A = this chain, B = another copy of it.
Amino acid sequence: MADMDKLAVLVNTFGSSLISVAREVGLNVTLNKGQVTQGVKVSNVCAASLIGIVGSGVQGTAVIMLTSEGFEAVIAAMSGGAIGPDTNNPIAMSVIGELSNMVSGRALIQAAIPGVDVTPPQTFAGENIHNAPASSAGVKCFTLPFSLDPAGQLYLVLSFNAS
């Protein structure tokens, strides 16, 4: 596969995996297709979960980033209301780690890129978190913005170095 083909496959499968995983856990998401951008474009993020992806000539990261309303929507859907949306609660943070695990696992199976391994999710909380675009040559970033129901934003930020 040519480099750009591999990247396009990865970006598409991550996007569709997020939508199908969200549907299964009872989370209504809508991809804002017109706002999909190369580079990084996120705002008002209070929680993030990152997974590293390595293998088959691909090195990269997949980050799920949530606004506070988005964090509430995800925790409410995935815990059935059993867990409060507190970014200082490791259990609540582990819920978004699990979401990124599920999305990455499904995306890598669907992309059918063999021999790829992932890291356990690393979750971050804070105020106004934003990732800096990668500055290395050969690393491409993409931001897929999703609207959540009843409110909030989820950003899927993908960075890949496909060689």
Contacts and interface: CB of A to CB of B under 8 A. Distances in A.
Contact of A59 (B119, B124, B125, B126): B119
Interface string A37-64: 0000000010010111111000111010
B60 A135 contact: no
Contacts of A132: 90, 93-94, 97, 123-125
- Of the candidates A50, A90, A139, A159, the one having the most CB atoms from chain B within 10 angstroms of its own CB is A50
A32 to B, nearest CB: 22
A46 to B, nearest CB: 9
Contacts of A60: 119-120
A126 B123 contact: no
A130 interface: yes
Contacts of A122: 50, 61, 63, 131, 134, 159
A120 B61 contact: yes
Best-buried of A53, A61, A124 by chain B (most CB within 10 Å): A124
Interface of A: 45, 48, 50-55, 59-61, 63, 90-91, 93-94, 97, 117-136, 139, 159, 161
B119 A130 contact: no
Given A97-B134, A124-B124, A133-B90, A52 B53 contact: yes
B50 A118 contact: no
Nearest to A96: B132
A69 to B, nearest CB: 17
